[in-house]
Structure 1
C-alpha cells in the first residue's frame, strides 16, 4: 500500500501524553485550552483508542512498543511475583520477553531517539539514543549510549517528578511537575536538532502524575486547582505546537495516550475481601508480606485486581489441587468477586472478572494472574494486606480507564475499526514501509 510518497529517509515522530483521555481533549479544545490539539481534531482524524488489562502504564506501554499482549511480552503489572520461592519485584525492561519497536527499527537501519517511555529501563541497545523513563532512578544509568549522560546532566534533565509530593504538598508538586516537564521538553528539542533520526518519540509522563492527584479537583471545578490543572495541559499543548514546528518537512506525526482517566471515588482492598471471606489467612494480624500466609490460604491478590490461586506445585505454600479443584475455585471466586458492592452506597464495584485465558495468550500466559478483576470507573483495586476496611478515600483522586485513550495519525484517515494500543507498532511499520513480523498481534490502522 503506497500511503505516502517514498522518500529516501522517511521520518515518524510520536508525541505521547500519558493518560490523556479522548473525551478530555474534546472538552479542552472546545474551551480553547489546547488549540494545537484542536487543529488536529478539526482534521477528523482523531480517534478514541482501547488500552489493555490491567489498565496501567507499564502494561500499556509494553504492549505499544511490542505490538503483542502481556502473555507474549511478560509485563503484567507494576508489581509481580515469583511463586516459588516467593519474591515480589518491579518488572523492568529485563523482564520484557518481546522485541521492541525501536529494536525492530534499529535492525531495519533506522535511527531512533526515544525519550521517557515507561518500561525502557535499563535501556536496551538501539541504533540511536534511548533515555529510559518511569522506573529509572539515576541519569548515569538511564541512557544509551551511556556517554549521553553528561549531556543530560548539563541540560538539567529530570527523570521524573516526585509523585509523593502530590500527597504532601500540592504547591511543591505543581512546581516540580512544571520543572520536570520544562527540562524534558528542552532536552527533546536539543536532541531533535542535533541528532540524525528517522523515529523520534517524546513521552510526557507529567500528565499522568497531575491527573492522579488533581483530576477530581478539576472535574468538580475546584476554585484553587481546576484552572491550574487546565493551565498545565495548556503548557503540554504549547509544547506540542513547538514540537510540530520543529519537525522536518514530511515527518508523519502521531499524537497518542495509553489510557484514559476518571475520578477515583474509592480505593478497594481486594485482599481484605479475600480475608473476610475465608480465602486468605496470615500467621499474624498485621502481616508485612504475602510470605506470611498460612496453609489455609486459597487465594491472594496483587495490585491492581490480579487474583492468584494458591496452587499446589506452583506456589510456595500451595494447597489447591490442580484440575477440577483449581477450576472450581476460579469460577467460585469469579462469581463472588463480581458481586462485590460498596459497603457505604451499595454500588457495584466490579465491571468484569476475566480468567486469564480470556484476555491473554502466549508463552508467558502461565505467569499471569489466574483472575483479572476489572473495576467500574470510580473504583481501583489495591494490594494492601492490613486494611481494616474494604474501601478507602485518600489523596489519589484520579484513576485510569480502558476505553478512552487518544490517537491521531498525521494526514491519514484510519480504518473504521476501533483502534487498540497494540495496533500502533504495525501502523508505524507501514509508515516506514517495513514488513510487519508475523508474531505481531496488532494490525495496521491505515
Structure 2
C-alpha cells in the first residue's frame, strides 16, 4: 500500500537499476517476484540499453545524466589521477551539467535520490540526496534536508550497514532500499517536482558481495519492486523510464594480469613494500581483531598470515575468503585493509615504469609520458610508436584456451572525445564479451581464475511507459547517452548540441540549442577512508 499523499505533478519518474539487465530480470519476471517491474516492461516498450566503455558505475551514471561521454564530462573511473596520486571521484570531477540542472534553468524542479557521483550537491531547483562515492551522512541540497528526511522516515544510509552475520546482510540491503523509496516519496510530497530520479544501487552490490546467491538477489529485487510500486502509487507519474548503467553476469573466462604482461616486456618496474605499508598498531586500534591490545603488539597469526598471503599474491579485497589458504581460520572481524596484504607484496613502481594499469575498472593502460607525468619515462616523440606497438601486442594476447583475450584494443580516441580526454587511459582494453577480466596485479602468473565470479557486462536495459511515450516503438539501438536528451525532449527543453546521444524514438519533437559553457565548481578532494573502504569491499579498488 502506498504512502498517503496529495496529488502531485510528477511528469516523469526515472527509476535507475544499477546493473539491471534482461538475464537477471527475466527469471524474476517468470517467477512472479517483481510484478511491478514486469508490468512496466510488458505494458510499455523496452529494449537493450548499451553502456559505454568502461561500463562501470562511477563513469556510466555521469555519462547518463549529462548525455556526454567521459572525454567531455571528465570521469573515467572510480578514481581520478593527479600524477601518481589518486582520489575517489565526486561530483566536482564531473565537468558538464547534469540534466536536472538543465531542467532547473528552464523552470522544472527535480527530486534526485541516490544517483552515484552527485556529492557534493550543487544548487538547483529541487532536492538531491547523493549516492555512491558520497560519504555517510553527506551534505545534501538544500542544506539540512537529510535531517528532515530522517525525522520523517527514519535513519538514512548511503551504504548498507555492515554486519558480522552474513545472513543479516540481506536485511541490510532491504532496509537500505526501503529508505530510498521512503525518502524519495517524502521529498516528492514536500517539493512536488516535475522530474524525479530514484536510483537503486543494491541491484549491483548484491552481485559483488554475494555472487550467485539467488536468495539475496531475489530479496533485493523484491524490495526494489515494492518501493517502485509504492512510489508509482504515491506520485502517480505521467511517464516512467526504467534505465540501467550496465549489465551484470558471470565471468566464466580468464583473469589477465596486464601489469605482469607489461613487466615481462620490460615496460613496468616493481618495488616491494612501497606506499601502503601497514601500521600494525593502527590496525589493531581499529579493532580488526576483537580483543587485541594494540599496546602489547607482537607478531600474531593474522600478521604472519597477511605477510604470507602477500608473498603468494593474494591481493584482493576478499581477504577473509583467502585466509584459509594460508592457514588462518580465526575470526578477523568485518574486513582487513588491502594495505595489510600488500605489506610483503611486489607493487608497481609507477614513476619508474613506462606503462601500467592504474585501476582495473578503467579498462586501460596508461603510458608514463614525459612532460605529462611527474617522472615520465617515455619521450613525447616516442609516444605514438610505443602506444601502437603496445596495442599490437595486446591484440595478440590469447587466453590459455587459445581464444582472444580482448574483443578490442584501441587508442582512447576511439571511445572518447572532448576537452578532458587527456585524463583517460592511453589505451582501452575491452575483454572479449566481458567474459574475461583484467586486473592490475603483479607478482603472479599472467593468467588465472577470475577473483570476481560476477562482473559488469556492457548491455543494460531501458523500459518506457506512459501517456507521453509511443509504446508501439521497438527500442533496438538505445545507448545510455540517449537518456538525457529524451528527458529534455519530454519537458520541451532544447537538447544540448554537445550531447552525444539522441532523443529515443518513443517521443516526437525536440529541438537543439547550444548552451553557454558550463561553470562547474572547483574540484575538491573526496579523501574519505570510509568511501575507499566501501569501494574496496565491492572489488572496485
TM-score, normalised on structure 2?
Answer: 0.72
Distance 1:32 1:10 in 2: 28
Return the offset for 1:259: 0.5
Q: 2:498 aligns with which of 435, 439, 446?
A: 439
Q: 2:384 aligns with which of 321, 327, 338?
A: 327
* Structure 1 residues 361 and 176: alpha-carbon distance in aligned structure 2, compared to 1, 3 A threshold: same
Match of 1:144 in 2: 141
Match of 2:184 in 1: 188
Distance 2:9 2:402 in 1: 59
Distance 1:133 1:339 in 2: 40
**2:398 pairs with 1:402:** no
Q: 1:264 aligns with which of 245, 251, 254?
A: 251
Q: Which runs of 5+ in 2 are unaligned?
A: 1-7, 277-346, 508-541
- Show CA shifts across 1:87-116 (max 9, x none): 111121111110111111111111111000
Return the offset for 1:78: 0.8
**2:265 pairs with 1:277:** yes
Q: Which runs of 5+ in 1 are unaligned?
A: 1-7, 218-224
Aligned pairs for 1:112-131 (under 5 A) are: 112-131=110-129
Return the offset for 1:409: 4.3
**CA contact 2:46–2:461 (8 Å) conserved in 1:** no
**CA contact 1:22–1:406 (8 Å) conserved in 2:** no
Partner-residue secondary structure (3-state), 2:478: coil
Match of 2:159 in 1: 160
Distance 2:185 2:54 in 1: 33
Distance 1:127 1:241 in 2: 26
**2:35 pairs with 1:35:** yes
Aligned pairs for 1:6-405 (under 5 A) are: 11-43=11-43, 45-83=45-83, 86-139=84-137, 141-154=138-151, 155-161=154-160, 170-215=166-211, 217=212, 225-248=213-236, 251-265=238-252, 267-282=255-270, 284-288=271-275, 292-293=349-350, 295=352, 297-303=353-359, 304=361, 305-323=363-381, 325-343=382-400, 345-376=401-432, 377-384=434-441, 386-393=442-449, 396-405=452-461
Tell me the matched-pair count. 419
* Structure 1 residues 32 and 314: alpha-carbon distance in aligned structure 2, compared to 1, 3 A threshold: same
- Show CA shifts across 1:48-69 (max 9, x none): 1101111101111000111111
Return the offset for 1:204: 0.4
- Show CA shifts across 1:370-390 (max 9, x none): 111111223222334x44233
Return the offset for 1:431: 0.7
TM-score, normalised on structure 1?
Answer: 0.87
**CA contact 1:213–1:398 (8 Å) conserved in 2:** no
- Show CA shifts across 1:274-332 (max 9, x none): 112221113x245447883464x220112222211111111122122224x21121121
* Structure 1 residues 330 and 405: alpha-carbon distance in aligned structure 2, compared to 1, 3 A threshold: farther
* Structure 1 residues 410 and 387: alpha-carbon distance in aligned structure 2, compared to 1, 3 A threshold: farther
* Structure 1 residues 90 and 373: alpha-carbon distance in aligned structure 2, compared to 1, 3 A threshold: same
Partner-residue secondary structure (3-state), 1:36: helix
**CA contact 1:79–1:302 (8 Å) conserved in 2:** no
Distance 1:238 1:367 in 2: 41
- Show CA shifts across 1:216-247 (max 9, x none): x2xxxxxxx32342232122122222222222
Distance 2:257 2:140 in 1: 37
